[in-house]
Structures are given as structure tokens and as C-alpha cells.
């Protein structure tokens, strides 16, 4: 069975900009190519990575890079009700709460994030895991 995995913006930026944990993230992308996992993000994460990539590598290269990313990572989104649930969530970080609710709505199996504060807001139904835990889990 293919696992549905939602990627936080920090994971995508680490991969594209070859920052922290690049090697482990690259290995997960290789597993995605073998159809063991399928990656997702929201359109708001696309906004975030678009902003940062434009800042670091310029608009033209950012667009080219994002188009390549979209070959592998699929866009899912929420709704008005998803936003309400996110705002009622105990997580004080509105953006993280929104991403989590979008992932829940779209029935993700895992949410990968490097944000240690965010990880404590995961649930049994949708665990928020580190890239190290994901590597361990999916490399079996």
C-alpha cells in the first residue's frame, strides 16, 4: 500500500536548497519514484516555498524548480470548514494548524515536518514525524 505523506514547507525547502537533512530527504524522494510513498502539500505551502525560492535563487529559477517539485508533490487543499477547525485547534501557530487540518481532511497517513514545536500537536490518526523517523519508517 502506498502511504500518503504531507510535506511541510521546511522539508521541501531543505530538499530544494540542499539544506539540513538533504540526504535523508533525497532518499525519500527516491522511494516516491518507486511508488512506495506519495507526497502532498497545500497551495499555501506552494506560496511559502515560492517566496523563499524567489528570495534565494531568483524568480526564473524558482519557477523552474517549483515545476520540477510539482512533478513529485501533489497539491491538496482545504475549505472554509478546514480553516475554522484550524483556528479552533490548540496549536498557537495558525499556519501549522491550517496545514495539519488540510492533511487530515485529505486523509494523509503521515505529516513530515522539521518543526519540533509543531510535532507535539500530531495525533494517532495523523502523526507528525521528523525526516529521520520517516527515513526509518519507509526504508524498511
Beta bridge partners of 5: 39, 110
> Domain spanning 3-138 has what CATH number?
3.40.50.1010
DSSP secondary structure string, the chain? -PEEEEE-HHHHHHHHTT-TTHHHHHHHHHHHHTTSEEEEEEHHHHHHHHHHHHHHH-HHHHHHHHHHHTTTEEEE---HHHHHHHHHSS-S-HHHHHHHHHHHHTT-SEEE---HHHHTT--SSS-EE-HHHHHHHHT-
pLDDT at 21 over 90: no
Domain boundaries, the chain: 3-138
- Pick the residue with more confidence: 47 or 123? 47
Centre a 10 Å sphere on the Cβ of residue 136 and count the other Cβ atoms it contains: 12
Alpha-carbon distance 128 to 17, whole Å?
22
Alpha-carbon distance 114 to 36, whole Å?
21
Mean pLDDT, all residues of the chain: 91
pLDDT per residue over 90-120, tens digit each? 888 899 999 999 999 999 999 999 887 776 7
Residue 107 CA neighbour count, 13 Å, CB half? 1
pLDDT per residue over 2-17, tens digit each? 899 999 999 999 999 9
Amino acid at each position: 500500500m502506498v502511504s500518503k505523506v504531507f510535506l511541510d514547507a521546511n522539508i521541501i525547502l531543505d530538499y530544494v536548497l540542499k539544506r539540513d537533512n538533504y540526504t535523508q530527504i533525497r532518499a525519500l524522494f527516491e522511494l516516491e519514484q518507486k511508488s512506495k510513498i506519495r507526497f502532498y502539500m497545500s497551495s499555501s505551502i506552494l506560496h511559502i516555498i515560492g517566496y523563499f525560492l524567489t528570495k534565494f535563487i531568483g524568480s526564473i529559477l524558482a519557477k523552474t524548480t517549483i515545476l520540477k517539485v510539482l512533478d513529485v508533490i501533489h497539491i491538496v487543499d482545504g475549505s472554509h470548514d478546514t480553516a475554522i477547525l484550524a483556528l479552533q485547534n490548540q496549536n498557537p501557530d495558525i499556519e501549522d494548524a491550517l496545514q495539519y487540518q488540510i492533511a487530515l481532511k485529505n486523509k494523509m497517513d503521515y505529516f513530515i515536518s522539521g518543526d519540533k514545536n509543531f510535532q507535539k500537536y500530531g495525533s494517532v490518526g495523523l502523526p507528525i514525524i521528523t525526516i529521520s523517523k520517516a527515513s526509518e519508517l519507509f526504508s524498511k
